[in-house]
Amino acid sequence: MAEENETHSSVIGYVLWIFGFMGSHRFYYGKPVTGTIWFCTLGLLGIGWIIDLFLIPGMAKEADRRFSPGKIDYNLAWILLTFLGVFGVHRFYMGKWISGIIWLITGGLFTLGYLYDFWTLNSQISEVNSLSK
């Protein structure tokens, strides 16, 4: 049996779940549409947020199958985006120096770029990891 990628951690998922009423754990696991719904509805008025407490292990396994492992660690990139994203730290970590500097100067392109990265960070990392193989 093939070894799983383990690109996404359940522990990080639960840490982000604490802020889950804003959808951060759903974005982390590559579910931007439901992440946005959670963000706009405060985790479906808290009900979806509580249900996700039990769904996180399955979301982690699904994300492990979907995304490519490599030199960029998804867990670290997501922590950097979630807590320091407006400063572009996650972009510096991925080697995207020019956009990192733009993020630093503009506060994540006036937060619109920050939201864009919540939607696309997993695919950005997967692309970088695929190119580095």
Element (H, E) at 78: helix 74-84
> What's the one-letter identity of residue 99?
S
Q: What pLDDT does residue 97 have?
A: 95
Q: What percent of the chain has pLDDT over 70?
A: 95
User: What CA dihedral angle connects 9, 78, 80 and 127, to 10 degrees?
Assistant: 120
pLDDT, tens digit (0-9, with 9 covering 90-100), for 78-132: 999 988 988 999 999 999 999 999 999 998 888 788 889 999 999 999 999 988 7
Q: What is the tens place of the pLDDT at every residue in 35-88? A: 999 989 988 898 998 999 999 999 999 999 999 899 999 999 999 998 898 899
pTM: 0.88
Helix or strand holding residue 39 (H, E): helix 32-45
